[in-house]
Amino acid sequence: MKHYTSNTDNSDGNIVWHHASVTKAHRERLNRHKSVILWFTGLSGSGKSTLAHAVEDRLRQLGCHTFVFDGDNVRHGLCRDLGFSPEDRAENIRRIGEMVKLFLEAGMIVLTAFISPFHKDRQWVRSIVPDGSFIEIYCRCSLEICESRDTKGLYRRARTGEVKDFTGISSPYEVPENPELVLDTGVLLLEECVDRVLEVLTQRGIFSV
């Protein structure tokens, strides 16, 4: 398999960027909100997807244009050829990063729910989008709680060795160093977490265009 890097660049002179006449600013004005990426990161079972969908539902009620990307779903299609080695996880996040960058240009509020365990991969996504567009939300939940939930039975299978390279068991999770928001998803109620995310969006002027 061809291995990509975050630096892969096809600018050999034969491919020329075509600038759109309808810009992100136009779309933001039409939508009446700014576009932004809400990047939820945390262990499997920490509540990323549940929270992302709950935030999306609240945003829908406010009339926002949103889309949720979830690890398990994306791995059924765009990233179906990838496994869970550090290289494959980096490629997973690289593809997702490029995809959410396009959705940002499209004027959306993009919510992602990927374990994204490696600092450098998260940093890379942050680096390819404009300052302030990447809001990293650490869903902090102990391994004990995630493992006791074990909604997919994967922790049990990781403990027996049947599932390899499992985050938190046989593969590392690098805790975000400076996220915009930390939520104790093992302790807080879902609605409390949603409120905290909405507060951050309000503080950052996402709803004032």
Q: Is the dihedral of CA 173, 179, 185, 191 positive or negative?
A: negative
Binding region for ligand ADX (CB under 6 A): 44, 71-72, 75, 84, 89, 92, 114-117, 152, 154, 163, 165-167
Please identify the residue of the shown chain whose CB is closest to the bound ligand ADX: 71
Cα separation, 195 vs 202, whole angstroms: 10
Catalytic residue among 6, 116, 127, 171: 116
> Please, what is the minimum distance in Å from the beta carbon of residue 102 to ligand ADX?
18
Nearer to ligand ADX, 64 or 146 (CB): 146
> Please, what is the minimum distance in Å from the beta carbon of residue 89 to ligand ADX?
4
Active site residue 116: yes
Nearer to ligand ADX, 18 or 76 (CB): 76
Nearer to ligand ADX, 35 or 41 (CB): 41
> Please, what is the minimum distance in Å from the beta carbon of residue 72 to ligand ADX?
5
- Three-class secondary structure assignment of the chain: CCCCCCCCCCCCCCCCCCCCCCCHHHHHHHHCCCCEEEEEECCCCCCHHHHHHHHHHHHHHCCCCEEEEEHHHHCCCCCCCCCCCHHHHHHHHHHHHHHHHHHHHCCCEEEEECCCCCHHHHHHHHHHCCCCCEEEEEEECCHHHHHHHCCCCHHHHHHCCCCCCCECCCECCCCCCCCCEEEECCCCCHHHHHHHHHHHHHHCCCCCC
> Please, what is the minimum distance in Å from the beta carbon of residue 158 to ligand ADX?
7
Nearer to ligand ADX, 56 or 91 (CB): 91
> Please, what is the minimum distance in Å from the beta carbon of residue 76 to ligand ADX?
10
Cα separation, 165 vs 69, whole angstroms: 22
Nearer to ligand ADX, 64 or 110 (CB): 110
The residues annotated as belonging to the active site are 116
